[in-house]
Amino acid sequence: ALVLVNNKISKVHEKAFEPLQYLHKLYISKNSLEEIPRNLPKSLVELRIHENKIKKVPKNVFNGHKSMNCIEMGGNPLENGGIEAGAFDGLKLNYLRISEAKLSGIPKG
């Protein structure tokens, strides 16, 4: 596990996780991230990215993350339209938490 909780991280370099090809758990909550890093290791099983400044979950952001079964992203300023259709395609999640957001609906797919 890599724990980067309660820092001031606002950006993640595109190659930051490159050497961590066997990383299973990433805790990067309570930071200042405005987007979900697109360079997450494909080996991730659990992602805790709550209490950041993420406003959007783009389609295919988790593409290729076949082992991912847990995502916690509550406490981000997500609004309607912030979760794109297909954002979680291909995932077999046991746990998805999107609490304390400003959602009034969930898109199809």
Mean pLDDT of 28-57: 96
* Interatomic CA distance for residues 20 and 41, integer angstroms: 7
- pLDDT on residue 105: 75
Does pLDDT of 109 surpass 80? no
With cut-offs at 50, 70 and 90, classify the pLDDT of residue 18.
Answer: very high
What's the predicted TM-score (pTM) here? Answer: 0.92
The number of beta carbons lying within 10 Å of the beta carbon of residue 78 is: 19
pLDDT higher than 80, residue 71: yes
Domains annotated for the chain, with CATH where assigned, are 1-56+63-101 (3.80.10.10)
The residue type at 70: C
